[in-house]
Amino acid sequence: MSEHPTSESRIERELEKLIGSQGRGRLPARERRSAIVDLAWTDGRAEVEVLADHFGVTASTIRRDLALLTSQGKLARTFGGAMAHAPVGETSLGQRSHEAFRQKHAIAGWAAEQIGTDETVILDAGTTTAHLARALRHRDRLTVVTIGLTVVTELADADGVEVLCLGGRLRHISHGLVGPLAEAALERVSADRVFLGADGITVDDGICEANLEQTRLKELMMARAAQVYVLADGTKLGQRPFHAWARMPASWTLVTDEGAEPAEVQRFRSAGVDVIVVDDRSRPVD
Amino acid sequence: MSEHPTSESRIERELEKLIGSQGRGRLPARERRSAIVDLAWTDGRAEVEVLADHFGVTASTIRRDLALLTSQGKLARTFGGAMAHAPVGETSLGQRSHEAFRQKHAIAGWAAEQIGTDETVILDAGTTTAHLARALRHRDRLTVVTIGLTVVTELADADGVEVLCLGGRLRHISHGLVGPLAEAALERVSADRVFLGADGITVDDGICEANLEQTRLKELMMARAAQVYVLADGTKLGQRPFHAWARMPASWTLVTDEGAEPAEVQRFRSAGVDVIVVDDRSRPVD
DNA sequence: GCACCTTTGCGCGAAACGCGCAAGTAACGT
DNA sequence: ACGTTACTTGCGCGTTTCGCGCAAAGGTGC
């Protein structure tokens, strides 16, 4: 148009101030960003153009905001805008379980195949059992009893699965329930199978955990199920990271992946443990 | 180069087939898409170029795949690629609570202010109480007792808050726990305050819910707390969507927003109910 | 063998991106 | 009160990415 497109838009901005095109003045940057997160949370996603229009700023500004918020982990950037960043890993299995996704997925896959229709299974807390829960989402006529928040979350919308959540105090680190309430509830149910996770597992002492509250619960779960499985990727075998132990029953099954030391596997087999080594590769996701 | 750039790349493709540049042939479309989801889940995100290179197809194909998978809700599209889609609305408060975000947020904000240090509060299941839980995330020296899965999820990483999850059978529709296990656990705790949600609330009959299992639980929760609050946005007042009712105690507080009918509010006040009407606007998020 | 559907590659115009610069604004110290 | 500093915003511009349409290739069933 004229010689100075810049000065023209400056005039527009002046006018904007005077007449308040967006009404009641513009929000400070900080509030605007907070509001963006708000909006994104409200309807899951927010588009750049819409936001720019809504706040009366240019798309550039919105993009900068989104870049900032993304770097802060409050949002996730998409093509035309951003989406509410459900902190994958906090609620579900995400970054947290990146370590050994394939292994855990494969182990969980094998475990899921063992569970028949109309059975009742107990699932421990932990990322591996969360994978198992995920594998059970589309199952029908199945009852899952659990102390794991991640497990419940995975099955929250699995209409075909009956989910029984034992109560208890929430351990923020593991997202599992522990304490008297869990133990009392456990006394009121029994199951066909129990699938346990483990911070470490040895032939001599059994499952290793951070404290006795957890190991006690694991022992109780084992006592309430006919068949006991321990799901532990190869790195857990023979490890003793803590000093609380859950003793194993006479008969149980160890499910691990090919990353396990053959010598370690042999040690378990020699002790009469039924050891399953699943193939990491070629197990489709969903 | 030559007159036909197309024919040149066709030759390249021919060569690709013969020498197997990507090794062992190309995956069928269906498997490739599955593998893309797998990869995205594994490391959280996947870039178009990387995927194209990995599968030996063009970026166009990958984009089409991503578009398809996005429409199926399996992935979320980002600028240079895609990311693992943690379905926000399923786990936490997302689309589900879209309806009345501001109202619920404001109500929850007021409720949070009532809770003092070292108190124990019972939180019902529901989106409004989930908002309340969210408002309590950064609190310290506080015990939250709940039957709401969304509440537990919100507080899963709130290290300062002691979370006691009552057990029970999971209602997939409301993400709440019900049944004998929940009732039994409730008998073992009491609290300073209880915050209840409601599908409908009337002066004469009290809280309206879909079935007696829930209303029974609500009555139990009310009996276990010194102070009773019902959090219900304006649209819930006077509503009778179902036919199961929870009777109210002699003294209780109704917390609603300005969307409530003044006549309706007056009806509650006349009946001796303590009614709080919070301001929807100007309550910062987080 | 043929017709039909799906998948793939490619080109091209449109959209979105982000970087750098300049101008404006708020906070702070002297 | 004034200047300095840090921050924010708008704009231009080159770059990247997107997605649509078309034609060829591959697969399937009659």
B285 in any annotated domain: no
Asked if B44 and A95 come within 8 Å (Cβ–Cβ), the reply is yes
Query: Which residues in chain B touch residue A79, judged by CB atoms under 8 angstroms apart?
Result: 77-79
Burial of B141 (0-12, 13-18, 19+ CB in 10 A): exposed
Å between CA of A70 and C1' of D7: 19
Q: Which nucleotide is nearest to B59 (CA to C1')?
A: C9
B246 in any annotated domain: yes
Contact A220, A184 (CB under 8 A): no
If asked whether residues A161 and A117 sit together in one domain, one would say yes
Express each pLDDT in B120-155 by its tens digit: 999 999 989 998 998 998 899 999 999 999 999 889
The rounded radius of gyration (Å) of the Cα atoms in chain A is 26
Within B48-199, strands assigned E span 75-77, 81-84, 120-123, 142-146, 161-165, 168-171, 176-178, 191-196
If asked whether residues A16 and A80 sit together in one domain, one would say yes
Query: Which residues in chain A touch residue B185, judged by CB atoms under 8 angstroms apart?
Result: 167, 181, 184-185
Overall domain count for chain B: 2
Query: For a pLDDT cut of 90, what percent of chain A falls above it?
Result: 62
**B104 CB below 7 A from strand C atoms:** no
Q: What is the pLDDT of residue A92?
A: 43
B286 in any annotated domain: no
Query: Which residues in chain A touch residue B71, judged by CB atoms under 8 angstroms apart?
Result: none
Phi, psi of B203 (to 5 degrees): -65, -40
A283, A285, A286: best to mutate for the B interface, most B CBs within 10 A = A285
Burial of B42 (0-12, 13-18, 19+ CB in 10 A): middle
**Distance from A25 to chain B by nearest Cα, in Å?**
15
Candidates B47, B80, B77; CA nearest to A82 is B77
Asked if B285 and A37 come within 8 Å (Cβ–Cβ), the reply is yes
Asked if B98 and A285 come within 8 Å (Cβ–Cβ), the reply is no
**A29 CB below 7 A from strand C atoms:** no
* CATH code where residue B77 lies: 1.10.10.10
Burial of A84 (0-12, 13-18, 19+ CB in 10 A): buried
Cα–Cα–Cα angle for A14, A17, A23, rounded to 5 degrees:
145
Q: What's the mean per-residue pLDDT of chain B?
A: 85
If asked whether residues A70 and A179 sit together in one domain, one would say no
Domain boundary among A39, A57, A84: A84
Domain boundary among A84, A109, A141: A84
Confidence of residue B164 (pLDDT cuts 50, 70, 90): very high
A89 in any annotated domain: no
Q: What is the pLDDT of residue B192?
A: 98
Express each pLDDT in B178-209 by its tens digit: 999 999 999 999 999 999 999 999 999 999 99
If asked whether residues B176 and B114 sit together in one domain, one would say yes
If asked whether residues A160 and A258 sit together in one domain, one would say yes
Query: For a pLDDT cut of 90, what percent of chain B falls above it?
Result: 63
> Is some CB atom of chain B closer than 8 A to the CB atom of A72?
no
Confidence of residue B26 (pLDDT cuts 50, 70, 90): low
Which of B34, B37, B92 lies closest to A91 in CB terms?
Answer: B92
Query: For a pLDDT cut of 70, what percent of chain B falls above it?
Result: 81
Q: What is the pLDDT of residue A256?
A: 96
User: Under DSSP, is residue A47 helix (H, G, I), strand (E, B) or coil?
Assistant: strand
Q: What is the pLDDT of residue B7?
A: 44
Q: Tell me which chain A residue has its CA closest to the CA of residue B156.
A: A172
* CATH code where residue B134 lies: 3.40.50.1360
Distance between CA atoms of A268 and A201, rounded to whole angstroms?
A: 10
What integer is the mean pLDDT of A117-127?
Answer: 96
Asked if A41 and B175 come within 8 Å (Cβ–Cβ), the reply is no
Confidence of residue A76 (pLDDT cuts 50, 70, 90): confident
- Looking at the predicted structure, is the pLDDT value of residue A86 above 80? no
Express each pLDDT in A255-276 by its tens digit: 999 999 999 999 999 999 999 9
Residues linked to residue A163 through DSSP beta bridges, in sequence order:
A144
Express each pLDDT in A161-199 by its tens digit: 999 999 999 999 999 999 999 999 999 999 999 999 999
A206 in any annotated domain: yes
CB atoms within 10 A of CB B243: 11
Å between CA of A71 and C1' of D21: 38
Greater confidence, B249 or B11? B249
Greater confidence, A33 or B12? A33
What integer is the mean pLDDT of A211-233?
Answer: 97
Express each pLDDT in B77-108 by its tens digit: 999 999 876 544 444 444 444 456 678 888 99
If asked whether residues A32 and A148 sit together in one domain, one would say no
Asked if A162 and B169 come within 8 Å (Cβ–Cβ), the reply is yes
Phi, psi of A82 (to 5 degrees): -150, 165
Which residue's C-alpha is at the least distance from the C1' of D9?
A61
Contacts of B153 (CB under 8 A, 6+ apart): A91, A149, A153, B91, B92, B130
Domain boundary among A58, A84, A110: A84
B149 in any annotated domain: yes
Residue B159: give the domain boundaries. 95-278
If asked whether residues A246 and A161 sit together in one domain, one would say yes
If asked whether residues B60 and B196 sit together in one domain, one would say no
Lowest average pLDDT, out of A222-231, A244-253, B30-39, B189-198, goes to: B30-39
Express each pLDDT in A183-192 by its tens digit: 999 999 999 9
A285 in any annotated domain: no
CB atoms within 10 A of CB A184: 17
Query: Which residues in chain A touch residue B188, judged by CB atoms under 8 angstroms apart?
Result: 181, 184
What integer is the mean pLDDT of B159-163?
Answer: 96
Q: What is the pLDDT of residue B27?
A: 66
